[in-house]
Amino acid sequence: MIKTIQTTPFDDQKPGTSGLRKRTRVFMQPNYLENFVQSILLELKETGGNSLVIGGDGRYYNHKAIQTIIKMALANGIEHIHVAKNGLLSTPAASHFIRKYGISGGIILSASHNPGGIDEDFGIKFNTANGGPAPESVTNSIYYKTRNITHYLIADIPDIDMDSMGTAQVLQGTIHVFDGIYDYVQLMEALFDLARIKELLENGFSLRLDAMNAATGPYLKAIFQDRLNMGEETLLRCIPLEDFGGIHPDPNLKYAASLVKSVVEGHSASSPDFAAAFDGDGDRNMILGREIFVTPSDSLAILAANATLAPGYRAGLKGIARSMPTSQAADKVAEQLGIPCFETPTGWKFFGNLLDADLVTLCGEESFGTGSNHVREKDGVWAALFWLNILAVTRKSVKELVQGHWRRFGRNYYSRHDYEAVDTSLAQAFMKRSEELLPSLNGNTVFGLAVKTTDNFSYVDPVDHSMTQRQGIRIVFEDGSRVVFRPSGTGTQGVTIRLYLERYETPHGNLSLHTQEAVQALVNWTEHVFDLRKSLHKTAPDVIT
C-alpha cells in the first residue's frame, strides 16, 4: 500500500558542499528526513532514473533512515533499489558501485568526519550517475523542491532485512541487498600491486591503520587481514560504532593525536614505519611516517610525482586538480611533468567534470582528501594503498620519500588554522569587511610583506563553462607565499572560518623549518591586517593542521 503524507516545507534544507548536514535530532523531527528524500527522488525521476544505491557510514539513525528511504523509493516507483548489507557503505565504495553497475544515483547517509550519536551530527547527500556528488545545478533543484513540497509518498510495508544478502521483489520494485565491500576490494586489487605490498610487509615493514570506529574498518580487514595476512594489531578501532566510540572521526593532528604521537613523535623500534587514519565515511585520510606528518597537499604532490610506480597509473597522468586552498605543491609537479594543474573551488563535486572529461587523473584537497579517476569521490583506503605501493617499489621510508620530494621540487610550508563554531553574524561580517579591504592591499607592502594580487576566488568550469563565485579570500605575495581564508560548509553549528597559510621554499632553500615557525610571519600579517581573532571573538585557533 502506498501512502500520501501531507507535509510543509522546512526552511533550512539547502545542501552544502557535501549534502545536507544537521544535528541528528533535527533529522529525527517528523517529516524532516522525508521531505528531503522526497525532493531527491523527484529529482532522480525527472532525469529518467529508475535505480538507486543506498548506504551509509553506520552512524546513529542510519538504519532507521535507510528503511524510510527504501519505502519512499518503492512508493516513488524506483524499480531497482540496491542496499548495502547492514546499511554500511563507504562513500568511495558507493561511488564505485554506481559507476560499475550503471546505477542512476545514490543516497549516502553520512556526515563524513563529523561526530555521530543522537546528540551529534547526521547527513545525507545525493550522488549522480557518474558516481560523484550532485553538482550545484542538481542540489539547487533539490533545494527548490524542498521549499515547495506539499506531500511525500511512502510504502506501508515491514522493514527490509538488511543483514542477509539477496534479492526480493517488493511491490513493483526489486530490492538487492549486496556486499558493500567486495566490489571495492576488487578495484583496489586492479589498481595496486598487492603482492609487492605484501612482500614489503613480510620483510619487517610495520604499519598501523586507524579506522576510528567508522566505515573503513571492514574494508581494512578485507584487504590487510584477508589478503595481506596482517595481524589484528595492525588495525586499530575497526568495528563501526553508531557514535564512533565517542570520538571525533576526523583524521587530523588533533583528533587522531594518539596515533600521531606513536608514529611521528615515536623514536623507538616499536614505532610503525607507516600509519594512516580515516574518517567516518572513508573518504579522508591522514598519512604518517616515522617522525614525519605528511600534509595532504604534499601527499597529493608526492603521489602525482610517483604515480607510474602503481599498476593502475603506469600510463601516466592526464592532469592534476586541487582545490584553491590546497598548497601549490602539486603545481610544481605538474609543471615538471608537462601536464595541466587545475585550481577549483572547495568541494569534490568540482572535480567531477574534469574527471569525466578525462582532463585529470589525480585530484586532492587540503582537508585530508585525495582521489583519482577510479571513482568520483576522495578515497582514504585507496590513498594508503597508493603510498604503500610506492614505498614497496622505492624501498624508502616515508621521511626519505618526502624529503627527497622537497629536494627535487621545493617545499610548500603549509598550515591550516580552523576557528570553529563562530557566530554566523560575526563570520559574515568578517568576510564582508575583509573583501572590502582587498583593493587597498594590492601592490602594497604591508607589515613587511609585498602583496602581489588579491581576490575573492571565482572559478569558470573549463568543461561546462559554469561560474562559481566568492569561494574564498586569496592574498598572494611577491615571494609566492599565500594567505587564504574562507567559511567552511561542513559543520552543523555556527560557521568554521579556515585560515590557510603557505610559504614556498626552493629546493636549495631551508627545507627543515618547523611548519608553524615557517608560516608565523603570515599569521602575524593576517592578524595585523584583518584583526582576525578579535573579529571572530577567538583567542586562538581551535584546530591547527
Q: Give me the mean pLDDT over the 492-514 stretch.
A: 91
- Give the Cα separation of 21 and 17 in Å (integer): 10
Which grid cell sits at 178? 549486496
Distance of alpha carbon 238 from the chain centroid: 19
- Give the Cα separation of 70 and 151 in Å (integer): 17
pLDDT given for residue 477 in this prediction: 95
Nearest alpha-carbon partner for 142 in 10, 50, 330: 10
- How does residue 490 score in pLDDT terms, banded at 50, 70 and 90? low
144, 37 Cβ separation under 8 angstroms: no
Nearest alpha-carbon partner for 9 in 47, 38, 42: 38
- Give the Cα separation of 103 and 80 in Å (integer): 9
What would the DSSP string read from start to end of 188-228?
A: HHHHS-HHHHHHHHHTT--EEEE-TTSTHHHHHIIIIITTT
Query: Which residues, at least 6 apart from 444, have a Cβ–Cβ distance to it below 8 Å?
Result: 450, 451
Q: Do domains 2-180 and 412-544 have the same CATH topology?
A: no
230, 201 Cβ separation under 8 angstroms: yes
Q: What is the mean pLDDT of the chain?
A: 94
Query: What are the tens digits of pLDDT across the range 153-184?
Result: 999 999 999 999 999 999 989 999 999 999 99
Q: Where are the domains of the chain?
A: 2-180, 184-409, 412-544
Q: What percent of the chain has pLDDT over 70?
A: 98
**Cα dist. 377→61, 251, 349, 353, 384 in Å?**
23, 17, 8, 12, 15
Q: Give me the mean pLDDT over the 140-149 stretch.
A: 97
Query: What are the tens digits of pLDDT across the range 308-337?
Result: 999 999 999 999 999 999 999 999 999 999
Query: What are the tens digits of pLDDT across the range 516-534?
Result: 999 999 999 999 999 999 9
pLDDT given for residue 494 in this prediction: 82
Please give the class, per CATH, of domain 184-409.
alpha beta
* Cα 215–Cα 221–Cα 225 angle in degrees, nearest 5: 165
The one catalytic residue in 51, 112, 297, 488 is 112
* Cα 246–Cα 249–Cα 252 angle in degrees, nearest 5: 130
Query: Which residues, at least 6 apart from 41, have a Cβ–Cβ distance to it below 8 Å?
Result: 72, 73, 76, 78
Single-letter code of the amino acid located at 25: R
> How much is the pTM?
0.94
pLDDT given for residue 268 in this prediction: 64
pLDDT given for residue 491 in this prediction: 54
Q: How many CA atoms lie within 13 A of 350 on its CB side?
A: 26
Which grid cell sits at 359? 582532463
Mark 397-409 as b/e (b = at least 16 C-beta within 10 Å): bbeebbbebbeeb
Q: Is the pLDDT of residue 492 over 80?
A: no
pLDDT given for residue 271 in this prediction: 87
pLDDT given for residue 140 in this prediction: 94
Neighbours of 171 (CB within 10 A): 14
pLDDT given for residue 267 in this prediction: 63
Three-class secondary structure of residue 389 per DSSP: helix
51 is catalytic: no
Neighbours of 543 (CB within 10 A): 17
Query: What are the tens digits of pLDDT across the range 259-311?
Result: 999 998 766 667 899 999 999 999 999 999 999 999 999 999 999 999 999 99
Query: Which residues, at least 6 apart from 218, have a Cβ–Cβ distance to it below 8 Å?
Result: 88, 181, 238, 240
Nearest alpha-carbon partner for 498 in 433, 438, 543: 543
Q: Give me the mean pLDDT over the 373-394 stretch.
A: 98
Please give the class, per CATH, of domain 2-180.
alpha beta
Q: What percent of the chain has pLDDT over 90?
A: 90
Nearest alpha-carbon partner for 324 in 340, 343, 350: 343
Which grid cell sits at 22? 544537521
pLDDT given for residue 264 in this prediction: 85
Query: What are the tens digits of pLDDT across the range 196-250?
Result: 999 999 999 999 999 999 999 999 999 999 999 998 889 999 999 999 999 999 9
Single-letter code of the amino acid located at 239: I
Which grid cell sits at 266? 615515536
- How does residue 347 score in pLDDT terms, banded at 50, 70 and 90? confident
- Give the Cα separation of 390 and 397 in Å (integer): 10
Note the CATH number of domain 412-544: 3.30.310.50
- Give the Cα separation of 353 and 464 in Å (integer): 8
Give me the sign of the Cα torsion angle 286, 288, 293, 298.
negative
Q: Which residue has the higher pLDDT, 5 or 267?
A: 5
